[in-house]
Structure 1
Amino acid sequence: MTLAASQFALAGPQDYQFQVVEPQFHQGESVTLTVAITDLRTNTAVAGATIIAVQIDMSPDGMANMRPIVMPIKTNTPGRYGFVTKLGMAGNWRLALAARLPGEGDVVWREVIIRVSP
């Protein structure tokens, strides 16, 4: 049996975008962050992802040790994943996420920079 070129294109980690819905925030004790995960091949939201790791820190401003706790929260929109954290200082923050996406064998890692104002 001879197989022609595969008709099924396997997705790779580069085929997904993680984007903070609102990239500008104000500092506060309980700030909600929402991340949208999009399949760039189809421009559709990725529902059913499992976030296996999340961390936020101020490493873009040279303060990687500033790492508040991040708690996941439920969202009602498919493809959007919510988190609550303390953003106690104005500046640039790095949100790092690792997710298992439906149909993907590899964990997809992304970092998103957000700006926090006083």
Structure 2
Amino acid sequence: MNIRYRWRAPAATLAALLAISPIAARADSDTYEFQLIDSSTKAGEGVILAARLINKRSGKPVSDAVIFAWRIDMAPDGMPTMTGSLEPHTSDEPGVYRFKANLTMEGAWRLSLAAKVQGESQTIVGRPLLQVQP
């Protein structure tokens, strides 16, 4: 085996670990934040959830973000594998990103979002909590 190829796998693993480490994501978590418009809702199908992405330094909403990953689960209640369906939904309010969700169970849910913002090199990650009532 060629020495050059022997070191590629460990180097790639290290690069992946650094990319997802809390240290790598820290700068943008100080600047941006996802906030739920309403942190409580009723259980059911077709529930519309809305999250606002704000720039914490200016206090202004960020309307040009590209949300590229989303998930909703019950990790706060100790059930990370209990997920609900979630799909993007239209929004006409600047900086507000809406999703249509099927929330089949009452309890605490975590909405996980990942976004890219123009001019920022790092991914913005948010995990606001939602309380679902019966």
Q: TM-score range by the shorter chain?
A: 0.7 to 0.9
Q: Residues 12-70 of structure 1, C-alpha deviation per residue, up to 9 Å, x if partnerless?
A: 33211110000010000111000000101111010110001000000111111111221
RMSD over aligned CA atoms reads 1.1
Structure 2 gap ranges (5+): 1-26
Larger strand fraction of residues: 1
Greater than 2 Å deviation, 4+ residue runs: none
Are the counterparts in 1 of residues 74 and 109 from structure 2 also a CA contact under 8 Å?
yes
TM normalised by structure 2 equals 0.77
Summarize deviations over 1:60-85 as a string: whole Å, max 9, x none. Answer: 11111111221001100110000001
For 2:116 and 2:29, locate their aligned partners in 1 and report how far apart those are by CA, in whole Å: 10
Taking structure 1 as the reference length, the TM-score comes to: 0.87
Aligned to 2:23: none
Q: Does the 8 Å contact 2:85/2:103 carry over to 1?
A: no
Match of 2:33 among 13, 17, 26: 17
SS at match of 2:80: coil
In structure 2, the partner of 1:109 is 125
Unaligned runs of 5+ in 1: 1-10
**Structure with the bigger percentage of helix:** 2
Q: Distance in 2 between matches of 1:114 and 1:68?
A: 12
SS in structure 2 of the partner of residue 60 of structure 1: helix
Q: How much identity, in percent, do the aligned residues show?
A: 36
Task: Select the structure of larger CA radius of gyration.
Answer: 2
Q: How many Å apart are 1:101 and its aligned residue?
A: 1.1
